[in-house]
Structure 1
Amino acid sequence: MQSQQKCIAIFALLCCFAVLLALMFSAVDVWVEEEDGITEENCNKNCRIVLVENIPEGFSFSSNATTHLPLTVALNGLLDLAKWSVEIVSSQWDLTSLEQQTDYFSANEGQRLFQQLLNLKNRLVKLKIVSGLSHSVELNSLSDHGAEVRFVNMTALTKGHIHSSFWLVDRKHIYIGSGSMTWKSLATRKELGVIVYNCSCLALDLHRIFSFFWQLQHKDYIPSIWSKRVTALYSKDEPLLVHLNSSDAVVYVSSSPDLFCAKDRTRDIDAIQRVILEAKKFIYVSVTNYLPLVWKTSNGQQLTRYWSIIDEALREALVLRRVRVYLLISLWKKTHPLTYNFVTSLKSLCLGLENCSLDVKFFSGPEENYRSNRKKREVNNNKYIVTDNSLYIGNLDWVGNEFTFNAGNGLVIKSAEGKLEGRPTILDQVKAAFERDWFSHDAKRLQDLILSGRTAGNPGLHPVKSEIRSKDRKVMRSMSL
């Protein structure tokens, strides 16, 4: 009897040991894919970065306005470079819609890009995709052509959605920005992002975020024990020092929401807050939506609270540090009426204060597309902040719910010493893109919108007189000196 009990006890201990061993190995850094041979020791920090945009037809820019590499050209170029792997996280998959043929874009860039993705199998290039879409004809077609597609159930995990948008090619080239895998990002939406070439150190860290998404398939919870394969290599406190084109810089990638931030990973909101905090002269912000609120439904009732992190950081920069702030917010069908109240509140801080300056414009594209004669306003989908020393490009709008529930990622670049004279940095290029948009006919101040009746959804709004008019260009130039 005693020997039988001993056997049972030993068996129970062996089972516990096996479970413990499995848990230990789940938290150990075990690289299962080393085809590229890239490690933290031999990765490349001498990188090339290119600003990419999609500018829809009909936007009113001056003839000498700055232009950058078209997003469709950039993404197809990345696929041409691919030798063994392409890894994509995207919020949308709608590249083959017939709507682009009949109404908007005769070149059918979405379908062309989709065909490129299908052809990766013939080139023996692995395609891996993470999506929050459980039903997608395009993803099913790619899967039939050899792609590995994994679904992440964001509803179960955070009650949100995947808004991340980035590419990894051969673990050394990356794309990150506002554009996703929809034909609209290549045709009718105004998008902005960057491609970083031959930057395997940064790609190695971004791949850890991809690996995190990859492990979430079939899960309705976030694992309590993190694998070392998904912990951050770099952060706001320990960024990566790289050489970008003509200058030295420090970079890192960030994530949202909090549950998706593995050990040492910087949250998107903390990254944005740091960029605002370190600004000394100016802050340029271009976002689709600005709304410092969080709302959720509980017991059938919608609860709303003030989401103060970004709003308070901007107020501190304005009043205490006298940093000039320029907000460029999209005006479209989903612009919340309270947006006007919040920006008016920000502007009121500077009334009667010397050297305190905040200016706001609302950006909307042409209402009529001249090819289709359809009334449909184009959306400025940019999501970035650039200052005199830092840049953040991300996937999320500046709305409390976005950072609280949705999955997103950002890239932070801070300039360092070593810029070559006459060579514009990536910060200079984004700054120029912002100023081009700011001075275009598509950007209008709040009081002009009120007079034209474009803000009819908020009849109680009282405009605040703008403090910056014809002096804008001189002021902006002086801030960069």
Structure 2
Amino acid sequence: MAGPATQEHPKSQQKCIAIFALVCCFAVLVALTFSAVDVWGDDEDGITEENCSTDCRIVLVENIPDDLHLHAESRSHLPLSVGFHNLLELAKHSVEVVSPVWDLNPWDVETWPNTAEQGQLLFQRLLSLKSRGIKLKIASSLTNSAELRTLADHDADVRFVNMSAFTRGGLFSSFWIVDRKHVYIGSADMDWRAFSKRKELGVMVFNCSCLALDLHRVFAFYWQLHHRDYIPSIWSKRVTALYNKNNALELQLNATWATAYLSTSPELFCSKYRTRDIDAIHRVIQSAEKFIYISVTDYLPLVNRTSNGTIVTRYWSSIDEAIRDAVVLRGVRVRLLINFWKQTHPLTFNFVTSLKSLCTHLRNCSVEVRFFSIKDQNEHGLNHNKYMVTDNAVYIGHHAWVGSDFTFNAGVGLVIKITHALKEKGVTILEDVQAAFERDWWSRYAKSLKGSKIQEEKYRSPQQVEKSDEYRGRKEWYKPS
């Protein structure tokens, strides 16, 4: 009688072990899943894709330095500093900020007594959020900032993204989300120079919780990377993109029906369904029918990689080829306005000369390039804009159009495409951005290059350029006309 029972005992043990293993695997999977959703995710204040608002108001915001004399326009855009104070005035529950730089209080107050005032005022307003019971959350690059420590002492929740651990790049994103209803996205960092010395451009969108909810998911993605040096293998559902280039948000902007979506870079930072920055730029260029106006700090279709201690440079064709296709094959007029400063790479002129040469002996072909040049310009005073506007869409981003930026650095882009205007047609955001571009393009600061000097240099190799005296800082090489 004992024999059969003894024989069945090992089989029972094997079944128990197998069941236990399955239960353990299931428990680990559930733990990981709920960890991803509940720990990495963030409360979205009850706002969902179904109940969020699409009836929005959009405003173009700019900072124009006082010593920059641009032609006065009938349509004046909201000053950047005023826009941020408006956002803080509207705040009731939460303010979420992403900025790579926190330098609102200059170290040398005696040197910058007036120009730093707006940055200092904004910093004081951020400090006062605690007294109003408003939660301030900040995601920043890995930086030793006394200002962030002071804000943290006033109950701000500060987290850092160590981009060098992910891509050896940097965090370039700069945006605000207020009460999951109002947003800012543009070129300005939390730097006093952005409100005085630098030329900046961005947009603020009010009462637009659908767009704010999606931008918050980008914020939540950065938020989860605090103290991490890897991208989690399981995505949180609360960082999954709500909209993308194939499924854009349909919304009303002022008196205009439009679509909008957010894009991110680098590719490693694109959560599920999120459009890459470079793909968003491609889509805007490809959809243009009449013109493409581009204003960027730098233009350089190259990527530098370090391999075995040696810097390897390769051509990065993504944007350059898209522009060539639009100009030659579709007859779209292109204007490229590039900031001119001491960090402008000499090969920039080679590439733009190549673009301009496309239209040699071609009818209905137009590529124009100008450099926004201010006398004695340095890293403080520059045209920091990073946007593109066409006859039907606008892209506002955070990167200079340099291959290495899109490959290694974190940034966010906003694409808005106009579908049709309402009966009481007002000025659209596209028309506002186009007017800002044309104002700069026809200003005294937008200068063409002398062709003869460029022709002498354009066939030099990258190695020859980097060894040249010009690369070491001699401005005679560029000679703006």
User: Normalising by the residue count of structure 1, what TM-score does the alignment of the two structures yield?
Assistant: 0.89
Q: Does 1:232 align with 2:241?
A: yes
Q: Does 1:108 align with 2:117?
A: yes
- After TM superposition, give the deviation of residue 367 of structure 1 in Å: 2.7
Who is 1:193 aligned against?
Answer: 202
Who is 1:139 aligned against?
Answer: 148
Q: Does 1:56 align with 2:65?
A: yes
Alpha carbons of 1:4 and 1:134: their partners in 2 closer, same or farther (altered >3 Å)?
farther
Unaligned runs of 5+ in 2: 1-8, 459-468
- After TM superposition, give the deviation of residue 246 of structure 1 in Å: 1.2
- After TM superposition, give the deviation of residue 252 of structure 1 in Å: 0.5
Contact 1:151–1:217 (8 Å) recurs in 2: yes
Query: Could you say what secondary structure the match of 2:416 adopts?
Result: strand
Who is 2:290 aligned against?
Answer: 281
Who is 1:457 aligned against?
Answer: 470
**Of 404, 409, 413, which residue of structure 2 is paired with 1:410?**
413
Who is 1:209 aligned against?
Answer: 218
- After TM superposition, give the deviation of residue 98 of structure 1 in Å: 3.4
Query: Could you say what secondary structure the match of 1:210 adopts?
Result: helix
The CA distance in 1 between the partners of 2:215 and 2:314, in whole Å, is 33
**Of 440, 443, 446, which residue of structure 2 is paired with 1:443?**
446
**Of 412, 427, 430, which residue of structure 1 is paired with 2:430?**
427
Aligned residues: 457
The CA distance in 1 between the partners of 2:452 and 2:251, in whole Å, is 44
Identity %: 61
* 1:60-79 paired onto structure 2 within 5 Å: 60-64=69-73, 66-79=75-88
Contact 2:220–2:239 (8 Å) recurs in 1: yes
The CA distance in 2 between the partners of 1:200 and 1:244, in whole Å, is 13
* 1:285-304 paired onto structure 2 within 5 Å: 285-304=294-313
Contact 1:72–1:186 (8 Å) recurs in 2: yes
Contact 2:282–2:319 (8 Å) recurs in 1: yes
Who is 1:379 aligned against?
Answer: 382
Query: Could you say what secondary structure the match of 1:355 adopts?
Result: coil
Alpha carbons of 1:129 and 1:94: their partners in 2 closer, same or farther (altered >3 Å)?
same
* 1:70-109 paired onto structure 2 within 5 Å: 70-99=79-108, 101-103=110-112, 105-106=114-115, 108-109=117-118
* 1:337-352 paired onto structure 2 within 5 Å: 337-352=346-361
- Superposition RMSD on alpha carbons, in Å? 2.7
Who is 1:353 aligned against?
Answer: 362
The CA distance in 1 between the partners of 2:374 and 2:423, in whole Å, is 36
* 1:250-399 paired onto structure 2 within 5 Å: 250-367=259-376, 378-399=381-402
Contact 2:298–2:402 (8 Å) recurs in 1: yes
Whose radius of gyration is greater, 1 or 2? 2
- After TM superposition, give the deviation of residue 306 of structure 1 in Å: 0.4
Contact 1:160–1:406 (8 Å) recurs in 2: yes
Query: Could you say what secondary structure the match of 2:421 adopts?
Result: coil
For residue 157 of structure 1, what is the amino acid of its counterpart? F
The CA distance in 2 between the partners of 1:256 and 1:398, in whole Å, is 12
For residue 407 of structure 1, what is the amino acid of its counterpart? A
Deviations 1:407-463 (A, max 9, x none): 000110000112446521000000000000001111100118959xxx98279x999
Moved more, 294-303 or 66-75: 66-75
The CA distance in 2 between the partners of 1:103 and 1:367, in whole Å, is 17
For residue 99 of structure 2, what is the amino acid of its counterpart? S
Alpha carbons of 1:154 and 1:321: their partners in 2 closer, same or farther (altered >3 Å)?
same
Contact 2:42–2:220 (8 Å) recurs in 1: no
Who is 1:475 aligned against?
Answer: none
